[in-house]
Amino acid sequence: MKRSLLPHRRRPALVAATLAMTALILSACRAGPDYAPPRPAGLADTGSAFRRAADLSAKAPVARWWQQLGDTQLDSLIDRALRHSPSIAAARAAVAQARADSARARADLLPTLSASTGYIYADLPSRGGGDDRTRFEYVTQAFDAAWEIDLWGGKARAAERARADAAAVQARLEDAQVALSAEIVRTYVALRARQASLLLIDRRIALESRIGDLESRRAAAGTGTRIAVERAARTLIASRAERAALDADRIILRDALATLIGDGPGTLDDLPDGGVPLPPAAVAVGDPAAMLARRPDLKAAERMLAAATAQIGVEQARRLPNISLTGLIGIGGTGLDDAFDPPRLAAVALPRLSWSFLDFGRSAARVRGAKAGRDVALARYQAAVLAALQDAEAALTRYGATRALLGHAVADRAAATRLSDLQAMRARAGTVAEKDALEDERQALDAGLAQVNRQAEMTIAYAALAKALGLGWVADDAAPKDGAGS
């Protein structure tokens, strides 16, 4: 009896093993095209922008570019923002979700195993209605497994797509860090410019008050005119209005800065005043190819293209036959002791073949849709590359222009200051009217205001350049090892 049972027990396992081995051999050839990163269009033309820009270095740029501004207060604010900003927290949560989806897709390649234990007890009355009763109990414990064999590599393509999706979401987190660091620098610099301008405006208001008093005394003495008095009064009113606008901007920018770092309005009210930070004399930009590799938005677009390419294989595999294996090993009987009796071991193996060979074009339509999705992703990637190149070109040109404009503003302020000093000396010597000396001093203050604005413009252009180069993201140590490719 035992000799006749053993072959029947081994036969399902032998069939299952044969099917599994065949499936593994067939699945070595995956459905769909293998992904190859595209060559970015327009890359060969980017060298001109880098050659035209002045004060730029071919050295590799610094990732934490804001530290080149030499402002420890700014460094602290950006560090706080990268840790606590709600937008960064949301992006990190999206990364965690995408990684979980990728892990699930990889797990779909493996069998599912489960265990169960059951106990049934029945105490039923006899059919005749007498005292005799039917009692029955059954105990079982079993292990079962199910495996949908990845015969054509469809599940492998799905895992490939999930990895690419996770890498794209990771790149979006990096892009959010790039945008946030650049926006904090822009807001911070604008705030510092308002603070510095307010100091100069206060000096100009005091000076214009002196000019108004002088004109009033001259008019009272008969050596001046009422027109000059009114003109001085209007100038003073305009300066006070300008100061009110600057002060409002200062409060708004300070609250905006607090929001960017993840705090509420008013939390930076005790932020001390400071000057406008300036970029280094030479800014490292590297080379165009490295720039493209750094920009997170381009990495996200390229990973989305990889995901769309993998989706073609997923849809093509769905058109082909599918094999799944279900197996069960269990022990059972009519008593508790039977659940531990090896001779009562039972095994079941159920291979299953399914194939939707007649679906009236549904599968073919899905494949065509996946290919069109790949073409859309490719076009979006190429558009993102061209937009990045234009962004870099514009940022480089703008930064070079702002450096030149700042140089002119510095020279103008220096000339205005020298003229003001000379006129003050002549006024003390009595060779020029005091009013003329005060007017020249006012013009020197206006030149100082212009210089402050040019300084802010240059530093903001430096932030825009860093953003165009894809700088400002912080590497995440928890990133998946296979997230960079498919």
Parse the chain into domains and list their residue ranges: 2-123+134-468
The residues near 141 (Cβ < 8 Å, ≥ 6 apart) are 115, 116, 117, 118, 330, 331, 332, 339
* More confident of the two residues 25 and 438: 438
Is the model's pLDDT at 312 over the cut of 60?
A: yes
pLDDT (0 to 100) of residue 7: 47
Beta strands in 68-195 (DSSP E): 112-125, 133-149
Q: Which CATH number fits domain 2-123+134-468: 1.10.260.40, 3.30.70.890, 2.40.50.140, 1.20.1600.10?
A: 1.20.1600.10
Name the band, by pLDDT with cuts 50, 70 and 90, for residue 24: low
Using alpha carbons, select from 456, 459, 453, 423 the residue that is nearest to residue 438. Answer: 423
State residue 142's pLDDT score. Answer: 72
Q: What is the pTM of this model?
A: 0.80
Q: How many CB atoms lie within 10 A of CB 122?
A: 10
State the pLDDT at residue 485.
41
Overall size of the chain counted in residues:
486
Q: In 3-state terms, the chain is what percent helix, strand and coil (to 5)?
A: 65, 10, 25
User: Residue 357 in contact with residue 284, Cβ under 8 Å?
Assistant: no
Q: What percent of the chain has pLDDT over 70?
A: 79
Position 29 scores a pLDDT of 62
> Is residue 77's pLDDT more than 90?
yes
From CA 320, how far away is CA 278, in angstroms rounded? 63
Q: Of 205-209, 415-419, 481-485, which gets the smallest average pLDDT? A: 481-485
pLDDT tens digits, 413-461 = 999 999 999 999 998 888 888 888 999 999 999 999 999 999 999 999 9
Residue 347 in contact with residue 9, Cβ under 8 Å? yes
Q: Which residues contact 383 (CB under 8 A, 6 or more apart)?
A: none
For the record, the structure tokens of 9 come out as: 């027990």
Give the whole-angstrom CA distance, residue 308 versus residue 377: 7
Cα–Cα nearest to 323, from 147, 158, 109: 147
**Mean pLDDT, rounded, for 133-144:** 71
Strands 322-333 and 133-149: antiparallel
Of 378 and 334, more confident: 378
Q: What is the pLDDT of residue 314?
A: 84
R_g of the chain computed on alpha carbons: 38
**How far is residue 235 from each of residues 4, 308, 434, measured CA to CA in Å?**
113, 64, 18
**For range 369-377, the mean pLDDT:** 91
Using the predicted structure, report yes or no on whether residue 85 has a pLDDT greater than 80. yes
DSSP assigned state of 222: T
Provide the percentage of residues in the chain whose pLDDT is more than 90: 36
> Token pair of 279, please?
């970029």
Confidence of residue 107 (pLDDT cuts 50, 70, 90): confident
Question: Which is higher by pLDDT, 26 or 123?
Answer: 123
**Of 116-125, 324-333, 334-343, the least confident:** 334-343
pLDDT at 55: 61
Work out the average pLDDT over 458-467: 93
